[in-house]
Amino acid sequence: MENFQYYTPTKVIFGKGTEEQTGELVKAEGCKKVLVHYGSGSVKRSGLLDRIYRSLDAAGVDYISLGGVVPNPHLSLVYEGIELCRKENVDFILAVGGGSVIDSAKAIGYGIANEGDVWDFYDGKREAEGCLPIGVVLTISAAGSEMSDSSVITNENGWLKRGYSSDYSRARFAVMNPELTMTLPKYQTASGCVDIMMHTMERYFNHCDNMELTDGISEHLIRTVMKHAKILMTEPEDYNARAEVMWAGSLSHNDLTGCGTDGGDWSSHQLEHELGGMFDVAHGAGLAAVWGSWARYVLDAAPARFAKFAVNVMGVQPGSSDTETALEGIRAMEAFYRSIGMPVCIRDMGIDVTEEQLRELAEKCSHFGGRTIGCIRNLDRDDMYQIYRNARGGEA
Ligand code: NZQ
Ligand code: ZN
């Protein structure tokens, strides 16, 4: 077991009607002016935004708003938010939405708390020394940004999608009412479930002598999400299924499922980020599209670990070798993805990726040859190209 630190300072307010407490929660932060940050319209259509405004008004909190965050959030809106917050002396950001809105809020927060260009942090040029405090009202179970230390932003100049992580950006509080996720389109629900599973799977695939406890939590978390994702495909208003998935989403990315490990592999995420940047695919769907290709490519580096996953998570009967069991587990996971309408290759997302685009994806993912990724097996630019190529999918 590796040494570890576990830091999860976000206060969670979970359950039906909890968004009504938002005004009081913000007020308790002692801020003077709040930016309410939201996405492209779902919170307006559902009436949630009006309820949040009413709650802030009732608590006597002064606020301004900035909507328009898109999935795979853009740097240009982050710049706009930074300028607006400076002009209005904003000292707290309330993100009402999903991972994209929360990540955009975190980036604005970095921009206010630090001098210079905020993109420098995402570009790996320097470290942040602070972030404006953030609060969250969560509307989709997926990215886990409500309890994670990360944010992921797309720079339209080159369509580069890059992440930045620091504890400064961890939310002060996260309001989580599973009912708010009932308006999600089926595809977004499924994509979110894949992302949640993947945050634990990325950590699970490592070379450590793992903690039995961490492995057990991880395996159960993934199985729980699979079970309830299936229920939600036919019963989108099943409160308990929504609640199980929502709580799993936060626990899957607040580092709990990485305690005692070396941190995990994360290659699928790095490979997907470039797909999101170039083709604007839903993050979880992009993960499902590359995972099988990645798993088959690296399997030989850790067959026992993949076999354990196959047996304990996918319910596969052990075969004559770890490799055989592992391959059966990968096939079972792909069958699950298909069963909830998720892709298992890039073509399944309607993208006919060209040879030139495959090279460009590998270029960008390797930071133009400047980095390798992955711990199960360390991958360079050529490996990335092969994995993208194998993930392209058969002829249409
Ligand atoms: O913009 P609106 O109109 O709100 O619509 C959104 C968006 O189109 C919609 N939606 C959200 N809640 C809804 C709803 N529609 C109906 N009813 C609701 N209750 O869903 C769409 C997707 O929203 P988005 O915020 O993009 O989803 P998600 O939470 O999956 O976030 C994805 C982003 O997070 C990043 C991803 O790369 C991607 O950019 N990630 C962030 C991480 C982090 N900060 O820790 C980790 C993840 O691995 C991930 O990379
Ligand atoms: Zn993710």
The ligand 1 atom nearest the CA atom of 73 = 39
pLDDT at position 395? 59
**CA atoms of 61 and 52, how far apart (whole Å):** 11
Atom of ligand 1 nearest to the CA of 48: 19
Average pLDDT, stretch 95-109?
Answer: 98
Output the CA 191–ligand 1 centroid distance in Å. 10
Q: Model pTM?
A: 0.97
Average pLDDT over residues 227-252: 98
CB atoms within 10 A of CB 238: 16
H helices present in 340-380, as ranges: 355-365
| 68 CA from centroid of ligand 1 (Å) | 13
As a whole number of angstroms, the distance between CA 262 and CA 313 comes to 21
Please report how the helices 283-298 and 381-390 are oriented relative to each other, as an axis angle in degrees rounded to 10: 110
Ligand 2 mean position, distance from CA 201 (Å): 10
Residue type, 44: K
Q: Name the average pLDDT for the chain.
A: 97
* Ligand 1 geometric centre to CA of 174 (Å): 15
pLDDT band at residue 120 using 50, 70 and 90 as cut-offs: very high
pLDDT of residue 205: 96
For residue 8, the tally of other CB atoms under 10 A from its CB is 15
Q: What is the pLDDT of residue 60?
A: 97
Amino acid identity of residue 168, one-letter, is Y
Give mean pLDDT, residues 165-169: 98
Per-residue b/e over 129-167, b at no fewer than 16 CB within 10 Å?
A: eebbbbbbbbbbbbbbbbbbbbbbbbbeeebbbbbbebe
**Can you tell me the mean pLDDT for 165-189?**
98
Residues 41-55 have a mean pLDDT of: 97
177 lines ligand 1 (CB under 6 A): no
CA distance 200 to 148: 13
Q: What is the C-alpha to C-alpha distance for residues 314 and 329, in angstroms, rounded to an integer?
A: 6
Q: Of all residues in the chain, what percent carry a pLDDT higher than 70?
A: 99
What pLDDT is attached to residue 9? Answer: 97
Q: Which atom of ligand 1 is nearest to the CA of 71?
A: 26
DSSP state of 32: S
The DSSP call for residue 116 is S
In this predicted structure, what is the pLDDT of residue 396? 45
pLDDT tens-digit profile of 290-342? 999 999 999 999 999 999 999 999 999 999 999 999 999 999 999 999 999 99
Supply 387's token pair: 């994995």
Nearest CA-CA partner of 246 in 178, 340, 175: 178
Pocket mutation for ligand 1, best pick of 40, 42, 165 (most atoms within 8 Å of C-beta): 42
Q: Name the residue at shortest CA distance from atom 26 of ligand 1.
A: 71
Contact 162 CB / ligand 1 (< 6 Å): no
- Does residue 98 have its Cβ closer than 6 Å to ligand 1? yes
